[in-house]
Amino acid sequence: MKMPSVGILGTGKYVPERILSNEDLARMVDTNDEWIVTMTGMKERRIAAEHEATSDLAYEAAVRAIEAAGLTAEEIDLIMVCSVTPDMMFPSTACIVQERLGAKNAAAFDLSAACAGFIYGVATATSYIKTGMYKHVLVIGAETLSRITDYTDRNTCILFGDGAGAAVLGPVPEGRGFHSFELGADGRGSELLTLEGGGSRYPASMDTLEGKRHFIYMNGREVFKFAVRIMGSAAEEALAKAGKTKEDIDLLIPHQANIRIIQSAIDRLNLPAEKCMINIPKYANTSAASIPLALAEAVEEGRVKEGDTIVLVGFGGGLTWGAAVLTW
């Protein structure tokens, strides 16, 4: 039996209403708009309201993606929520979203691969669909990073924001959909980007609270060096697996971590700026939500056309990375 081609049937996004600008941050820590823009490309980021958790953002993006796919919630067979900021340790955020959607026929689980989570998620979904286990899989990247950001740390508080993006995957005509994936991990860099507190290694205590171990820690210099190297190479590996070249790319959708990292990938792939989706000035780094949020926005803006070759690529804590090549 021939395995079906698998592609994206619909996308959706959601961002909270509250905007935290560079000017706002300058009133909180020793920084300024010019420095932030020059170093990161970020102008503002969205912040979840007090009543909003990751599942709320994920739900809104999911509703839009299911509608765009022309499906009902009951037609979804599996829900994956890719996130490092789940509502709680358990139950999974995916189960919470499943109940709220009314997706009573869907299995559900969370996936943790940090900013590369969505790539890991669509790779997993594609495998499920190709084997015939499921037909329609909902993959959501959602984060409320503001809840784990230390707003007294000028090095990290400028970088992160909240948001969600979602995609429904399913069978597509032959020749369309995902052609290849490149996934990787290097645990030797696990200490470079981490949140230590709250797990079995460092359970919540007065010491973890006072030591700020429930906030993001990042060795910015080392993560930057890793990202500049891996973004371009992962995209090239995925292209080679798909039997395509840099010249075939119609649109690059990279993880929105830093404008200089994105530019390094553009340069390595010899792409004109108009062939890269960039929304980092509006949303900053939304981790696992970054790529699906940018993808959904590119679709909204008409930048993705039928038959286009799309490359998704990202990296994150773990250290992890992933790239995918698909024909829209």
Q: Which residues are catalytic?
A: 115, 255, 285
**For the CA atoms of the chain, what is the radius of gyration?**
19
3-state secondary structure (DSSP) of residue 37: helix
Which residue's entry shows tokens 């009902």? Answer: 72
Contact 143, 114 (CB under 8 A): no
Contact 41, 262 (CB under 8 A): yes
Q: How far is CA 190 from CA 43, 55, 126, 230, in A?
A: 29, 26, 27, 15
Helices 259-268/33-40 angle, 10° precision: 30
Could you tell me which of 247, 130, 112 has the C-alpha nearest to residue 181? 130
Contact 84, 70 (CB under 8 A): no
Q: What is the CB-side half-sphere exposure of residue 179 using CA atoms within 13 A? A: 22
Alpha carbons 227 and 231: distance in angstroms, whole number: 6
Could you tell me which of 148, 143, 92, 152 has the C-alpha nearest to residue 115? 143
3-state secondary structure (DSSP) of residue 327: strand
Q: Would you give the DSSP letter of residue 3?
A: P
CB crowding 28-56: b at 16 or more within 10 Å, else e: eeebeeeebeeebbbbbbbbbeeebbbbb
**And the tokens for 10?**
């619909």
**In residues, how long is the chain?**
328
> In sequence order, which ranges of 142-279 are alpha helices (DSSP H)?
206-210, 220-242, 259-268
